[in-house]
Amino acid sequence: MEKFKAEREELNRLVMRYAGREVKRFFNVDADVYRDGALPAKVKELLGLVSSLVLRCDDCVTYHLTRCREEGVTDPELEEALAVGLVVGGSVTMPHFRRAFRAWEELKSDDGT
Amino acid sequence: MEKFKAEREELNRLVMRYAGREVKRFFNVDADVYRDGALPAKVKELLGLVSSLVLRCDDCVTYHLTRCREEGVTDPELEEALAVGLVVGGSVTMPHFRRAFRAWEELKSDDGT
Amino acid sequence: MEKFKAEREELNRLVMRYAGREVKRFFNVDADVYRDGALPAKVKELLGLVSSLVLRCDDCVTYHLTRCREEGVTDPELEEALAVGLVVGGSVTMPHFRRAFRAWEELKSDDGT
Amino acid sequence: MEKFKAEREELNRLVMRYAGREVKRFFNVDADVYRDGALPAKVKELLGLVSSLVLRCDDCVTYHLTRCREEGVTDPELEEALAVGLVVGGSVTMPHFRRAFRAWEELKSDDGT
Amino acid sequence: MEKFKAEREELNRLVMRYAGREVKRFFNVDADVYRDGALPAKVKELLGLVSSLVLRCDDCVTYHLTRCREEGVTDPELEEALAVGLVVGGSVTMPHFRRAFRAWEELKSDDGT
Amino acid sequence: MEKFKAEREELNRLVMRYAGREVKRFFNVDADVYRDGALPAKVKELLGLVSSLVLRCDDCVTYHLTRCREEGVTDPELEEALAVGLVVGGSVTMPHFRRAFRAWEELKSDDGT
């Protein structure tokens, strides 16, 4: 998980060396769309997580899992959200579904919980 | 909207005339995964809605919009959920994003709200 | 179904007016890959059908259904093949899954069977 | 084509009645990313067109075709760009590939060319 | 291949520690949909394989290759099935197509055939 | 990068040991569709690159980056092309977008530029 975060930050720095105005604005919108509003950040992170699962993006799933953890998502809430993604996206999401639980275990282990 | 629901029900009846055991079980799981649990049905319907948007399925979006309306989702909640889908799924989701608001308007008009 | 076939042929004629060498070769490969070989054409059409379902392409599904009918696919064989696609592709394939059975009914009705 | 443009504009007006800050910023980025820069707008519209084809979005394809026409894309340039999309995206893109040429014909007919 | 199977089983055990009723039912449906019926298991595994290729899921492809091997799929049958997937899914499936043959070679090597 | 090219060539040799007529023709079409024509090879490689990004295929992105480099694509041209892909494909393409710049840096480093 530490390695995941470090690599992500290093690549973001590289992207920003190349990024023009549109890319920078896109990155800002991507950060802001998950902020508290009419819906709490926790629900928005679950939306990002399940969208990432059905689109089968491991890195996106891992990122949203770290944010879900910070927002206090519980084990049963996580399981129910991922279950929606599994049913919507079908068995082709199963490898990502399995790895999501492994990443969640690692996050809990890093927390000492 | 009435036409959408009627067609959906008619096709479900047709499917059930052909459906074997696995298909029937899949349809049951698909219904049950959105029920109240650790997460309320309202949040699960938003998860189904945004998953449907990023996967660009108009019929799925319309179906979850009818359920979101039944669960009391407000205009700002809807807009924020769809905004997450737009950013995750990109501009290729825009035609579906636009049609989602048209369907929502129709649902409100049918409600007399 | 007649309308579907007529429109498809008219558009193919239009495409061929524009098509360069690569497009023509692609169309030929696409026709030849479904011919009898180590696997019979019937199995290959089922492969084309289920691939089209999981990729959620109604026109492709309809086309392969007409070919499956010509190859003598039975109702239970069709249902089992589509069931694999439903489970692999998830509930987002359900609108296409439903419409596949409607198209199949129309093909049977056109046959007088 | 006129109908397509009129509906698109009407829906954009509806979206803007609901849109929060992030959605508005996304729509702006989406407009600006195709402007002349190190790459000319013509090439960027071809990039948008082929991306839309491989993602199988008819509305997106039609929109970029109208812009390609405005940027002076010729018939052979169009055919070669769509051919790349056909090969990258496979035969599942064929229905969209066919409809792209039909829309192009309509655009030429509207032009009187 | 041994490592692939061991990791898959370990992750399945982890998933089952979290899994609620819907997830368990989904996993059961996913296992049962490939059983002998009107279509033999061999054909269903080929359907699963080609669906996995067009959806570009390496783990799913590898899993169905192990099952195809158990069901007695021959080299020419495998090549023809994957060729359908390559043409349907386009050149974007080529990295997965290549890796499918490498995994098949490893399965044959493990068999001593 | 050297490792990437060597593995790709080795797997192509393996595929050709299995490949029937349709697979060989597909590989040829895939090579020829990027050749100079009404559109220059450079533009076609950018089309291949952005299609690969929106379809989220790292290997395809890396391959087209090597070809873009050979065709003389500059840093700002690359950034603008990838920006179109990012906006079309959404934040789910961001991990691939980041890795594309890392691969580009490696190509420049291998060049000594």
**What CATH number has the domain bearing residue A59?**
1.20.1290.10
D67 interfacial to chain C (CB closer than 8 Å) = no
Residue type, E3: K
CA angle D42, D46, D48 (to 5 degrees): 115
Mean pLDDT of D44-67: 98
- The rounded mean pLDDT for chain B is 97
E6 touches chain A (CB under 8 A): no
Judged by CB atoms closer than 8 Å, whether chains meet at A29 and D25 is answered as: yes
Chain B neighbors of D59, CB-CB under 8 A: 95
Total domains in chain B come to: 1
Q: Within a domain: residue F91?
A: yes
Asked if the C-beta of A75 comes within 8 angstroms of chain E's C-beta atoms, the answer is yes
Q: Which residues contact C17 (CB under 8 A, 6 or more apart)?
A: none
pLDDT on residue B24:
98
- Write out chain F residues lying below 8 Å of E97, CB-based: 15
Per-residue pLDDT at C48 exceeds 80: yes
Given the cut 0.95, state whether the ipTM is greater than it. Answer: yes
On chain B, the residues whose CB falls within 8 A of the CB of A29 are 87
In Å, how far is E26's CA from the nearest CA of chain C? 8
**Nearest CB neighbour to E39, from listed C51, C60, C81:** C81
C75, C87, C95 ranked by CB distance to B59: nearest = C95
User: What pLDDT is attached to residue C34?
Assistant: 98
Q: Residue B93: its chain F contacts at CB < 8 A?
A: 90
Q: How far is E6 from chain A (nearest CA, A)?
A: 13
Query: Which residues fall within 8 angstroms of residue B112, CB to CB, at 6 or more apart?
Result: none
Quick one: how far is CA A30 from the chain centroid? 12
> Would residue A23 count as lying in a domain?
no
Are A26 and D29 in contact (CB < 8 Å)? yes
* Within-domain flag for D16: no
Chains that touch E (3 or more CB pairs under 8 A): A, B, C, D, F
What whole-number distance in Å separates Cα of residue D35 and Cα of residue D31? 8
Domain interval for residue B75: 33-111
pLDDT band at B111 (very low <50, low <70, confident <90, very high): confident
- The mean pLDDT value for D9-15 works out to 97
Contact assignment for E88 to D91 by CB distance below 8 Å? yes
Q: Report, as an integer, the average pLDDT of B46-51.
A: 98
Tens digits of residue pLDDT in A3-15:
999 999 999 999 9
Nearest-10 crossing angle of helices A41-54, A94-111:
140
Q: How would you label D1-12 residue by residue, b for 16+ Cβ within 10 Å and e otherwise? A: eeeeeeebeebe
Q: Is residue E71 part of a domain?
A: yes
Name the residue facing A47 among B30, B34, B47 (closest C-beta): B47
The residue count for chain B: 113
| pTM for this model (two decimals) | 0.97
Position D1 scores a pLDDT of 86
* Cβ distance of F48 and D74 shorter than 8 Å: no
The answer to whether position D17 is within a domain reads: no
- The answer to whether residue F37 sits within a structural domain is yes
Domain assignment present for A24: no
- Cβ neighbourhood burial of C92 (10 Å; 0-12, 13-18, 19+): buried
User: Cα–Cα distance between C58 and C63 in angstroms, integer?
Assistant: 9
Q: What angle do CA E70, E75, E79 make, to 5 degrees?
A: 115
pLDDT greater than 90 at residue F1: no
Q: How far is CA B20 from the centre of its chain?
A: 25
- For residue F38, the distance in angstroms to the closest alpha carbon of chain D comes to 5
F25 closest CA partner among D87, E61, E93: D87
CB D55 within 8 A of CB B92: yes
**Cα(E71)–Cα(E40) distance, integer angstroms:** 9
**pLDDT, tens digit (0-9, with 9 covering 90-100), for C66-91:** 999 999 999 999 999 999 999 999 99
- Return the higher-pLDDT residue of E49 and A111: E49
How many residues in total does chain F contain?
113
Cβ-based contacts of A29 with chain D (< 8 Å): 22, 25-26, 29
Cα–Cα distance for residue pair F30/D113, rounded to 1 Å = 32
Phi, psi (5° rounding) for residue F106?
-65, -40
Nearest to E87 among F8, F19, F22 (CB): F22
Cβ-based neighbour number of residue F3 at 10 Å: 7
CB D64 within 8 A of CB E62: no
The pLDDT tens digits for E46-102 are 999 999 999 999 999 999 999 999 999 999 999 999 999 999 999 999 999 999 999
User: Taking CB atoms and an 8 Å limit, are F8 and E98 in contact across chains?
Assistant: yes
The distance of E110 to chain A (nearest Cα, Å) reads 23
- What 3-state class would DSSP assign to D87? helix
pLDDT at F112: 79
The candidate with the shortest Cα–Cα distance to F32, out of C12, D50, D46, C24, is C24
Q: How far apart are CA D95 and CA A38, in angstroms?
A: 40
> Would F1 be classed as within a structural domain?
no
Separation of alpha carbons C42 and E40, rounded Å? 13
Residues F33-55 have a mean pLDDT of 98
